Copies of this chain bind each other. A is one copy, B any other.
Amino acid sequence: MPSHPSSQDIKVATDAVIFTVRDGKLCVLLIGMKKEPLAGLWAVPGGLIGEEETTKACATRILREQTGIADVYLEQLATFDDPARDPYGRVISVAYFALTPSERVELRTTEKYADVRWWPVAKLPKLAYDHKGIVATALTRLRNRLAYTNIAWSLLPAEFPLSRLQETYEAILGRELDKRNFRKKILETGIVEATGRMTAGGAHRPAELHRFKKRALAYVEMLPG
């Protein structure tokens, strides 16, 4: 970065695309806009970074402030910098990609916004700014991460039946998987292990609960079929 000429009047923001799987559907969290001219539109949580704040810290803060969500998996996604992307002026946005289990989440927002809710990615409302493209980029990243890593841990509670894990894969990949092949493959990779405990309730045979051995990102080839 050798040259340091001139001045700039460019602002830096972050936007955080957070996904979960609820009722077998992949969902993304959106905030309902209240103020004109955006009222009626929805947007991913986001805002300007602080003078001494990293973009990642900013994404964490903004998720907490605008949605009540904390302690999620978070990674940098991409930077969006079309000079016309924000009507208020030149704002470049470092977008983040986040995942959370659907259990843990109690949503709340501030009076600045009209609403917060989970939207199935298959039926999104009209989005503000360039957020349609940001969400699409995040979705591609999620599908790739799922195929090459153990990232599903961040979408599941500490213990879960294997059917829940398969449901998660199916929701994200958008296709059905063979139960026997899926279980064989997942157990072969060794990313999960049985806990010995069982699910209770439900008019059917109980399922053995499993856990991820490591709840941190690890690269493992496992495109299940």
Residues on A facing B (Cβ under 8 Å) = 1-6, 8-13, 15, 31, 33, 43-49, 51-56, 66, 76, 78-79, 81-83, 86, 88, 90-94, 112-113, 128-129, 131
Contact = CB atoms under 8 A, between A and B. Distances in A.
Nearest to A4: B88
A83 B58 CA distance: 13
Nearest to A89: B4
A36 to B, nearest CB: 13
A221 to B, nearest CB: 10
A2 B79 contact: no
Number of identical monomers bound together in the oligomeric complex: 2
Given A1-B13, A76-B78, 12 more contacts: A1-B44, A1-B46, A2-B43, A2-B112, A2-B113, A4-B48, A8-B11, A8-B48, A8-B51, A10-B10, A10-B51, A53-B83
A86 B8 CA distance: 16
Given A1-B86, A2-B31, A10 B13 contact: no
A42 to B, nearest CB: 10
Contacts of A13: 1
Contacts of A131: 1
Contacts of A1: 13, 15, 43-44, 46-47, 86, 91, 93, 128-129, 131
A54 B79 contact: no
